[in-house]
């Protein structure tokens, strides 16, 4: 379980296909405090740590199944692997929530529901207004002033029109996450709010 408050910007150091995809991710975390089997949200995708090390910099390894690659921006678009993760890419990291930690965002599972696309970016003062296009099947779960997790970042929805929605990203968020490197056309991991999912399910039952 996570909160959508990014605590490190990691770097993809290595990628190797071994049946599943294995990724080595550089981090500023103290890897001595990361146990094997621990969960870390990597651009919003909950992944399990299978190895750690500190040479030439702190790193941890994760394995990513074909299912996770297909459902997230890790594996690219369709058969185009070039659209997925690349060595040198910066990704948002968050370690799993501990009892007693501050819940600064919203409850995030790390189970990505689908991939949204950045369709527009407009600077408004020092902040940037992002417009995203969500998959049609997920659009009904996104509501104005509701929460979404985008690349693992807890964000508030400003407006919704059909399958498109907008969020405002402030300078601090761009500085401490990989949103400062975002550009139109990027594919973004989207996790809808669990509460929105259950409200929609209840409405279906009561219809």
- Residues 154-184: pLDDT tens digits? 999 999 999 999 999 999 999 999 999 999 9
CA-nearest of 13, 51, 48, 7 to 29 is: 7
- Please tell me whether the peptide bond between 56 and the residue prior to it is cis, using omega within 30 degrees of 0: yes
Residue 150 lies in a domain: yes
205 or 166, greater pLDDT: 166
Q: Show the domain range for 160.
A: 114-206
Q: pTM score > 0.85 for this model? A: yes
Q: Are residues 153 and 186 in the same domain?
A: yes
102 or 127, greater pLDDT: 127
Please give the mean pLDDT across all residues of the chain: 91
What's the CATH code of the domain at 41? 2.40.30.20
- In this prediction, residue 81 carries a pLDDT of 47
- Pick the last residue of a domain from 49, 65, 95: 95
Q: How far apart are CA 55 and CA 97, in angstroms?
A: 27
Residue 191 lies in a domain: yes
Q: How far apart are CA 58 and CA 72, in angstroms?
A: 25
Q: How far apart are CA 50 and CA 38, in angstroms?
A: 8
Q: What is the DSSP string of 45-102?
A: EEEEEEEEE-SSS-EEEEEE-HHHHHHSTTS-BTTBGGGS--TT-EEEEEEPP-TT--
Q: Are residues 66 and 140 in the same domain?
A: no
Rounded mean pLDDT, 43-48 = 97
- At residue 19 the predicted structure's pLDDT band, cuts being 50, 70 and 90, is confident
154 or 99, greater pLDDT: 154
Residue 39 lies in a domain: yes
Residue 129 lies in a domain: yes
């Amino acid at each position: 379980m996570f909160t959508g408050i990014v605590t490190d910007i990691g770097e993809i150091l290595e990628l190797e296909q071994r049946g599943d995809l294995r990724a080595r991710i550089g981090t500023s975390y103290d890897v001595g405090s990361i146990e094997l089997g621990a969960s870390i949200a990597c651009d919003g995708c909950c992944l399990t740590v299978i190895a750690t090390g500190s040479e030439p910099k702190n790193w941890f390894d994760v394995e990513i199944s074909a299912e996770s690659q297909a459902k997230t921006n890790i594996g690219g678009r369709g058969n185009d692997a070039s659209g997925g993760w690349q060595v040198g890419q910066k990704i948002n990291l968050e370690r799993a929530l501990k009892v007693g930690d501050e819940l600064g965002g919203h409850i995030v599972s790390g189970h990505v529901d689908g991939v949204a696309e950045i369709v527009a970016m407009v600077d408004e003062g020092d902040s940037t207004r992002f417009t995203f296009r969500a998959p049609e099947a997920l659009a009904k779960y996104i509501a104005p002033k509701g929460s979404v997790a985008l690349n693992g970042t807890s964000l508030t929805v400003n407006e919704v029109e059909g399958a498109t929605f907008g969020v405002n990203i402030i300078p601090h968020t761009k500085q401490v996450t990989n949103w400062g490197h975002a550009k139109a056309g990027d594919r973004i991991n989207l996790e809808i709010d669990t509460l929105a999912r259950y409200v929609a399910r209840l409405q279906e039952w009561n219809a």
